[in-house]
Amino acid sequence: MELNLSPLNLPGISTTRPIVIAGPCSAETEEQVLSTALQLAKAGIKIFRAGIWKPRTKPGGFEGVGETGLPWLKHVKDEIGMLTATEVATHAHVEAALKYDIDILWIGARTAANPFAMQEIADTLKGVDIPVLVKNPVNPDLELWIGALERIAGAGITRLGVIHRGFSTYEKKLYRNLPMWHIPIELHRRLPGLPIFGDPSHIGGRRDLIAPLCQQAMDLGFDGLIVESHCNPDCAWSDAKQQVTPDVLEFILDKLVIRDTTFSTESIQNLRHQIDELDNDIIEQLAKRMRISREIATYKKEHNMTVVQSARYNEVIDKRGAQGVLCGMGADFMRTVFEAIHEESVRQQLEIINKN
Ligand code: PEP
Ligand code: MN
């Protein structure tokens, strides 16, 4: 389906990169909302975010203040003069948000992964003219992301954008959600007119990753950033570790280098990011290989076997060498790589065997 896109056209907001949306993960109290918004406004931020309904992994946690918080956002709009943005996941959320003149709606990662929920939101938005930002689905599925956008576009919404918040992962990694930059890059190739916002808070899950992730998003030519900022981050009721004070946010934004890059897969920046992504994969795969190797060591120890079994070693070197050559790599290179991997593997196995 062809998307009919028009510019976001946010009143009073310049299109100079980055367009910044900031505010707490959740609206908690009226005081917290207004104090954060005032400080952000002082720092030059013009669009305020706050979650009113919070999708939590498990029941029993703080699930947002609900409609009670919408008048607080209305205050931010009327008294501080910022635009307001919140997350909607159901028909009722959309109706309530519209009633309180929310300026921008965003759709969360769990909702974007659910076609029924997306359709319900789209049906509610028929005939409404409001900018809608769709976060990537939690799982790395570009078609599902585009499908979610198509549903919203099908309702007649043309002021569409996306938020890249990373993809969930089972294994513990540096990032809370893997950036997998090639996915937003491919989305941009497919839908070049669609504004992309980076969400460093949810990708990193850690304050210290916000600055580098903002810079990476800018280096890739993203249009904007959505960052979680709280007047007292340590005491936040949700996502405390990934929020910064408005002051810190101002500092981070101030230090950003905004290069005039064209966002194309040909640009060297993008190719380098793809290399970084692959290097991450290589490291993860190697670590996985070493883990299995250590399991083998435990077995060898129990069965009183030697660590190095040369027949197996020769088989690995020969088979992988031949496979590498078929893929266009030199035989010597393949040997060097697998010898090094084997050496590390033996070192780790010896550690296990010699324990106790
Ligand atoms: C949020 O923005 O606070 C949020 C819940 O994000 P996500 O849907 O990306 O998890
Ligand atoms: Mn959050």
Nearest CA to ligand 1 atom 2: 25
- How far, in Å, CA of 329 to CA of 295, rounded? 30
pLDDT attached to residue 272: 83
DSSP string, 159-193: -EEEEE--B--SS--SSSSB--THHHHHHHHH-TT
Nearest CA to ligand 1 atom 8: 108
Q: Which residues of the chain are under the pLDDT cut of 50?
A: none
- Name the residue of 21, 25, 145 to mutate for ligand 1: max ligand atoms within 8 A of Cβ: 25
Residues 26/228, Cβ–Cβ less than 8 Å: no
By C-alpha distance, which of 83, 65, 80, 101 is closest to 35? 80
Residues 87/98, Cβ–Cβ less than 8 Å: no
- How far, in Å, CA of 179 to CA of 201, rounded? 11
Note if the bond before 18 is cis, omega within 30 degrees. Answer: yes
pLDDT attached to residue 266: 61
pLDDT attached to residue 306: 82
Q: Are strands 19-23 and 104-107 parallel, antiparallel or unpaired?
A: unpaired
**Residues across the chain:** 356
pLDDT tens by residue, 259-268: 876 655 567 7
How would you label 307-323 residue by residue, b for 16+ Cβ within 10 Å and e otherwise? beeeeeeeeebeeebee
Q: Provide the whole-model pTM.
A: 0.79
pLDDT attached to residue 335: 92
pLDDT attached to residue 262: 60
Nearest CA to ligand 1 atom 1: 25
Cα of 291 to ligand 1 centre, how many Å?
32
